Structure 1
Amino acid sequence: MSSAELELKLEVINKITELKEIRVIREIKKLLDFELDENAFVLSKQQENRIADARREYENGEISSDDEVNKEIDQWLKEK
């Protein structure tokens, strides 16, 4: 870790110690808990496969815009 990064960490720590409002402290804690939780996004094999499929679809242009999908839904509803 560089000295600039260490200085930044110390600056953040010092600012946190000066905080008076508990709401802000809780939000910072939530953010840190989320960032430091290594198990936050453990995906199943099925989820990983679906994400890979979605990325391939996106790369191949096999996607629809929000407007296109809404038009299709509107058309479908009119047919009902």
Structure 2
Amino acid sequence: MSSAELQLKLDVINKITELKEIRVIREIKKLLDFELDEDVFVLSKQQENRIAEARKEYANGEISSNEEVNKEIEQWLNEK
């Protein structure tokens, strides 16, 4: 690990120790737990089915760009 990387780690640790908001600390912990988890993630049958369905939709060109989706969201929000 380079000295710049080590300094970055120390900076992050120092900032975490200064945090007052427990909600933020919990979110950081969740992120770290996820990132450091070495277990294999096992999908449920429902998750596997949804992934297969999404792959078919993608293969059939049934996709939307971010721009299209953002426009739809804007329209929906303006209707409310």
The two structures have a TM-score, normalised by structure 1, of 0.55
The two structures have a TM-score, normalised by structure 2, of 0.55
Larger Rg: 1
Quote the Cα distance in structure 2 between the aligned partners of 1:33 and 1:65: 35
Quote the Cα distance in structure 2 between the aligned partners of 1:21 and 1:10: 20
Unaligned runs of 5+ in 2: 65-80
Equivalenced residue count is 55
What's 1:66 paired with?
Answer: 63
Q: Any runs of at least 4 consecutive aligned residues in structure 1 with deviations exceeding 6 A, and if so which?
A: none
Quote the Cα distance in structure 1 between the aligned partners of 2:40 and 2:17: 27
Unaligned runs of 5+ in 1: 68-80
Quote the Cα distance in structure 2 between the aligned partners of 1:29 and 1:12: 13
Identity %: 72
Superposition CA RMSD, Å: 2.7
Deviation at 1:64, TM superposition (A): 2.0
Quote the Cα distance in structure 2 between the aligned partners of 1:34 and 1:13: 18
Quote the Cα distance in structure 2 between the aligned partners of 1:15 and 1:40: 31
- Are residue 32 (structure 1) and residue 29 (structure 2) matched? no
